């Protein structure tokens, strides 16, 4: 193991002694979460006859998945490729994965690379000067600034410093993230096609700016299946009170069957929709009702011989298990004080980014394959200098804590953490540039994201932008390249995980994508 957690983090130091005793992730087994017949183990359940289970495999394949591309299903059910019709038959993962799971920290609204990571000291002298046409190169603007009379350069108002052995430049706004600088693999030259939020965030999640495609988490659930039997394979969580709206499609399964959508963990009410029994139905009564339900279904199963009945019985048992496992998951009372301190005071408040980061670790620990966090509010068209510090304050410490926590538990090596927004922001000022104030418009041409753990090349920076952080000077990375690289880290050749829909073999990277070898360790 190459985990850097042996090095002390200032915030993680106290935790080491206890963290080493944390038990290994529970219930790690290669069983798909939904739609798959897992043999019922509860003593209350009636045994399901063998032939039914066998027939059920086919039935599940038929009803849910076209073909047998789903390795989750094939590995679980010893799927015979001959019975499936799809040409997508490769086993996934195809090669030894470096990452087993992903935690994607989506910073919705597009954080400014110029004020956080992409240090351009030369801009100080150009403050207020018109952005040269030779830099703009005729690239399109959004409708918000295209009629603007001038495009004055707005250098950041924040101080930058180098951090760690890698010497990564980071702004003073991210003191906690700076402490894990050597874990991070920065990509300074990600670029995207879309220039507005909805299409751009849809593009980065699904590989298409239009609705209807599965998101990355759905592709991975479909391809790799689940690693646990009590929880979904794919969980999404949101935080932030205002900012750009989010959409179910960002964690939706598109044309893949619905079972590959994320289960959204909510911040109010039941963490999972309809999880709690209604008032008046005790856990005990629920168990009795489930038993009676099972008895009645069993009669039909015997009579009808329809494997779907057995499958549904199984789902009810899984639902019952979730009723126990999810509250246990979101109950952080078993977290020691130093962990709570690590994530910061917000982590006790459900629905905050800090709380979601802590839950992300708990989910990862329990074998959830893909956890996606969305934090809203990074859309700083105006008043950037006075508002971006709030967003950083909300996210910086928990982000850093998550890295340290995973590392201390020995989980960072096989957990890929991705941090980033949907595009970057312009070097020119949107609106009026004053001594203390400016705004930045959307900028798709280049922006910074970072990854950590999961086999990425830590402590490195890839790609270089020009002096204005406006164009790519060296080593551009397309969104499809990034997605291809993430899939590679998970042991998947992105061109091979496909699904036939409307006469085409679709894949996350469409017809694009090149793995960026330099990003992987």
CA-based nearest residue to 222, from 66, 352, 376, 49: 66
For another protein, which residue of 16, 58, 89, 348 counts as binding (CB under 8 A)? 58
* CB-neighbour burial class of residue 218 (10 A; exposed 0-12, middle 13-18, buried 19+): buried
Comparing CB distances to another protein, the nearer of 129 and 289 is: 289
What H or E segment, with its residue span, contains residue 489?
A: helix 479-489
CB of 517 to another protein, least distance (A): 20
Which residues in the 215-274 window bind another protein by CB under 8 A? Answer: 238, 241-249, 252, 257-259, 263, 266-270, 272-274
Comparing CB distances to another protein, the nearer of 322 and 358 is: 322
Q: Which token pair is 357?
A: 């980061």
Q: What is the DSSP letter of 421?
A: -
Count other C-beta atoms under 10 Å from residue 42's C-beta.
13
Residue 191 sits in the site that holds another protein (CB under 8 A): no
Residue 502 sits in the site that holds another protein (CB under 8 A): yes
Q: What is the DSSP letter of 148?
A: -
Contact mark string toward another protein, 129..168, x via CB under 8 A: -----------x-xxxxxxx--------------------
CB of 296 to another protein, least distance (A): 6
Residue 27 sits in the site that holds another protein (CB under 8 A): no
CB of 253 to another protein, least distance (A): 8
CB of 63 to another protein, least distance (A): 5
Which residues in the 327-356 window bind another protein by CB under 8 A? Answer: 351
**Cα–Cα dist 471/288, whole Å:** 64
Q: Are 434 and 97 in contact (CB under 8 A)?
A: no
> Which residues does 323 contact at the CB level (< 8 Å), separation at least 6?
275, 276, 277, 283, 286
Comparing CB distances to another protein, the nearer of 277 and 386 is: 277
Helix spans in 150-215 (H): 175-179, 197-206
Give 356-401 as a DSSP string: HHHHHHHHHHTT-SEEEEEEE----SS-HHHHHHHHHHHHHHHHHH
Residue 422 sits in the site that holds another protein (CB under 8 A): no
Give 152-177 as a DSSP string: BB---SS-EEEETTTTEEEETT-HHH
Residue 387 sits in the site that holds another protein (CB under 8 A): no
Which residues in the 75-94 window bind another protein by CB under 8 A? Answer: 85, 87
Q: Are 122 and 467 in contact (CB under 8 A)?
A: yes
Identify the residue whose tokens are 């989750």.
Answer: 72
CB of 150 to another protein, least distance (A): 12
Comparing CB distances to another protein, the nearer of 188 and 366 is: 366
Comparing CB distances to another protein, the nearer of 32 and 449 is: 32
Residue 313 sits in the site that holds another protein (CB under 8 A): yes
Segment contacting another protein by CB under 8 A, of 217-225, 303-311, 443-451, 480-488: 303-311
Residue 389 sits in the site that holds another protein (CB under 8 A): no
HEC string for 55-119: HHHHHHHHHCCCCCCCHHHHHHHCCCHHHCCCCCCCCCCCCCCCCCEEEEEEEECCCCHHHHCCC
CB of 502 to another protein, least distance (A): 4
Q: How far is CA 300 from the centre of its chain?
A: 41
Segment contacting another protein by CB under 8 A, of 21-29, 33-41, 398-406, 418-426: 33-41
Identify the residue whose tokens are 């068209």.
Answer: 381
Q: Which token pair is 387?
A: 């508002």
Contact mark string toward another protein, 437..476, x via CB under 8 A: ----xx----------------------------------
Residue 212 sits in the site that holds another protein (CB under 8 A): yes
Segment contacting another protein by CB under 8 A, of 308-316, 352-360, 364-372, 391-399: 308-316
Comparing CB distances to another protein, the nearer of 251 and 468 is: 251
For another protein, which residue of 12, 25, 35, 225 counts as binding (CB under 8 A)? 35
Q: Are 58 and 310 in contact (CB under 8 A)?
A: no
Q: What is the DSSP letter of 55?
A: H
> Which residues does 394 contact at the CB level (< 8 Å), separation at least 6?
239, 240, 346, 352, 353, 354, 375, 377
Residue 312 sits in the site that holds another protein (CB under 8 A): yes
Segment contacting another protein by CB under 8 A, of 18-26, 289-297, 453-461, 512-520: 289-297
Q: Are 434 and 461 in contact (CB under 8 A)?
A: no
* CB-neighbour burial class of residue 482 (10 A; exposed 0-12, middle 13-18, buried 19+): buried
**How many residues touch another protein (CB under 8 A)?**
101
Residue 421 sits in the site that holds another protein (CB under 8 A): no
**Cα–Cα dist 5/459, whole Å:** 14
For another protein, which residue of 28, 128, 316, 518 counts as binding (CB under 8 A)? 316
CB of 503 to another protein, least distance (A): 4
For another protein, which residue of 81, 129, 296, 324 counts as binding (CB under 8 A)? 296
């Amino acid at each position: 193991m190459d985990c850097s957690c042996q090095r002390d983090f200032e915030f993680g130091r106290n935790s080491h002694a206890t963290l080493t005793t944390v038990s290994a992730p529970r219930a790690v087994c290669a069983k798909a979460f939904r739609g798959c017949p897992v043999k019922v183990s509860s003593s209350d359940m009636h045994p399901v006859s063998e032939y039914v289970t066998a027939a059920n495999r086919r039935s599940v394949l038929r009803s849910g998945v076209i073909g047998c591309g789903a390795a989750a299903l094939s590995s679980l059910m010893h799927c015979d490729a001959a019975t499936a019709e799809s040409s997508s038959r490769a086993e996934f993962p195809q090669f030894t994965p470096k990452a087993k799971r992903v935690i994607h920290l989506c910073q919705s609204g597009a954080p400014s690379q110029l004020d956080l990571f992409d240090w351009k000291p030369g801009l100080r002298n150009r403050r207020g000067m018109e952005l040269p046409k030779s830099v703009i190169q005729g690239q399109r603007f959004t409708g918000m600034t295209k009629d603007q009379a001038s495009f004055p350069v707005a250098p950041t108002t924040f101080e930058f410093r180098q951090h760690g052995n890698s010497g990564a430049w980071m702004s003073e706004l991210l003191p906690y993230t700076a402490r894990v600088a050597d874990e991070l693999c920065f990509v300074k030259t990600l670029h995207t096609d879309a220039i507005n939020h909805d299409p751009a965030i849809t593009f980065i999640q699904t590989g298409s700016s239009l609705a209807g495609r599965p998101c990355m988490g759905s592709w991975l659930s479909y391809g790799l299946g689940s690693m646990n039997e009590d929880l979904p394979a794919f969980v999404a969580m949101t935080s932030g009170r205002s900012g750009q709206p989010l959409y179910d499609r960002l964690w939706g399964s598109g044309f893949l069957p619905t079972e590959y959508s994320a289960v959204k963990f909510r911040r109010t009410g039941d963490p999972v929709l309809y999880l709690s029994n209604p008032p008046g139905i005790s856990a005990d009564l629920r168990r009795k009702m489930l038993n009676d339900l099972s008895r009645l279904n069993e009669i039909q199963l015997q009579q009808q011989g329809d494997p779907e009945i057995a499958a549904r019985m199984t789902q009810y048992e899984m639902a019952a298990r979730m009723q126990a496992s999810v509250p246990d998951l979101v109950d952080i009372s078993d977290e020691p004080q130093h962990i709570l301190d690590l994530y910061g005071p917000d982590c006790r408040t459900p629905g905050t980014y800090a709380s979601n980061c802590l839950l992300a670790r708990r989910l990862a620990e329990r074998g959830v394959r893909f956890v996606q966090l969305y934090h809203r509010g990074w859309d700083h068209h105006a008043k950037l200098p006075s508002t971006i510090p709030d967003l950083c304050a909300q996210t910086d410490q928990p982000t850093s804590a998550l890295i340290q926590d995973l590392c201390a538990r020995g989980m960072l090596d096989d957990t890929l953490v991705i941090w980033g927004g949907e595009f970057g922001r312009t070097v020119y000022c949107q609106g009026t540039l004053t001594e203390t104030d400016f705004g930045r418009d959307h900028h798709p041409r280049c922006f910074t994201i970072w990854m950590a753990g999961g086999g990425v090349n830590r402590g490195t920076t890839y790609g270089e932008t020009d002096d204005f952080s406006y164009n790519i000077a060296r080593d551009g990375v397309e969104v499809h390249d990034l997605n291809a690289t993430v899939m590679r880290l998970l042991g998947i050749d992105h061109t091979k995980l496909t699904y036939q829909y409307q006469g085409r073999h679709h894949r996350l990277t469409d017809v694009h994508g090149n793995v960026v070898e330099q990003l992987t360790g």
